[in-house]
A = this chain, B = another copy of it.
């Protein structure tokens, strides 16, 4: 697995359980996954030689993130290494314009969009739709970085004058979609075409960072849930995805369900599956990329609530350990071994059960206490 963040870290446990050797390519030996994996190579994901050397002798290469340059992926394939997801599939998660074009080609509902080469393009788009508009760098962003909401042409002009495009990147402009809520659909798909769909979840983002997930999404009709699962299965099949695919969706106020973004790896919207599904997203990602039969994606209880622990004022998360554990013996705590910085994802908590209000109170309290925003 290339990349050693928390997604790689949480992949280590199912690899151990299945007896699968998992090598991690980490930028440094104190990265989240490098702290806990036995087989760690140090090197950068954009260093051709480092990636090729790390892939020596492995059956399959997969990813903790989407940032490995396509040229390196092609080189791996030239060396006879199975790359999963395939570079052609992964391109849809690496480049937002590629994604928009591909979704349009298969008639998947999405926000209206254009590629802008000048502020005047954005102005025309904003005037013909409505303001604000959303501007995105086609490449390189994550957790809300590389995304801006623009209220008027002056702001657009200033942004485009300030932010330099990296080679190959473009300005993607999208309609601002007023939504009731955000949903996410996750599926696992294997090279031989088996696929399973997890329950549709409701996600809450603040400043572009996922903070809370409820599984399944409350008050979503069975028909709408099935339609969202089918949509994700169709995208996975059409794009040839192997491994986990997360489809982030807007449930718009006008009733449309629109695709926002894709991720082709385990995803924050599926962390609840460790403690709340028969087979976690991390195990099914490994099974899928290894072309093993997939495990059941079914939930093990009526509801699961996951709340991210974002870095706050308290550098020592462990000071709060005893309190949150003593308050709630049913709490599942997951910490990533990361240095605490404000707003950084440093862990998450999950609770499962029947009473959604109770679960929300417990998970939010625990995350808030670990973060330091709640002190009693």
- Nearest-neighbour CB distance to chain B for A306, whole angstroms, equals 13
A117 within 8 A of B: no
Of A294, A321, A329, A347, chain B has the most CB atoms within 10 Å of the CB of A329
A335 within 8 A of B: yes
A296 within 8 A of B: yes
Tell whether A335 pairs with B17 under 8 Å between CB atoms, given A292-B322, A329-B294.
yes
A295 within 8 A of B: yes
Neighbour of A335 across the interface among B19, B298, B335, CB < 8 A: B19
Count the A residues whose beta carbon is within 8 Å of the partner chain — how many?
42
Which residues of the partner chain B approach A16 to less than 8 Å between Cβ atoms? Answer: 9, 12-13, 36
Which residues of the partner chain B approach A279 to less than 8 Å between Cβ atoms? Answer: 329
Tell whether A293 pairs with B13 under 8 Å between CB atoms, given A36-B38, A300-B300.
no
Q: Is the CB of B36 within 8 A of A295?
A: no
A28 within 8 A of B: no
Beta-carbon nearest neighbor of A37 in chain B: B38
Q: Is the CB of B37 within 8 A of A296?
A: no
Number of copies: 2
Neighbour of A295 across the interface among B19, B287, B325, CB < 8 A: B325
- As a 0/1 sequence over residues 6 to 50 of chain A, the CB contacts with chain B under 8 angstroms (1 = contact) are 000100110011110000000000000001111010000000000
Neighbour of A17 across the interface among B301, B318, B334, CB < 8 A: B334
Docked pose: A329 CA to B294 CA in angstroms: 6
Tell whether A322 pairs with B300 under 8 Å between CB atoms, given A16-B13, A19-B317, A279-B329.
no
Tell whether A293 pairs with B322 under 8 Å between CB atoms, given A300-B301, A334-B17.
yes
Which residues of the partner chain B approach A13 to less than 8 Å between Cβ atoms? Answer: 12-13, 16-17
- Nearest-neighbour CB distance to chain B for A145, whole angstroms, equals 25
Q: Is the CB of A293 within 8 A of B17?
A: no
Q: Is the CB of A18 within 8 A of B301?
A: no
Q: Is the CB of B293 within 8 A of A19?
A: no
Nearest first, the 8 closest Cβ-Cβ pairs linking A and B are A19-B335, A13-B13, A293-B326, A293-B325, A296-B329, A16-B36, A296-B330, A17-B334
Residues of A within 8 A of B (CB): 9, 12-13, 16-19, 35-38, 40, 196, 274, 278-279, 287, 292-296, 298, 300-301, 317-318, 321-322, 325-326, 329-337, 347, 352
22 A-B pairs whose Cβ atoms sit less than 8 Å apart in the complex: A12-B13, A13-B13, A13-B16, A13-B17, A17-B274, A17-B333, A18-B321, A18-B334, A19-B317, A19-B335, A19-B347, A36-B38, A279-B329, A292-B321, A292-B325, A293-B325, A294-B329, A295-B325, A295-B330, A296-B330, A298-B330, A300-B301
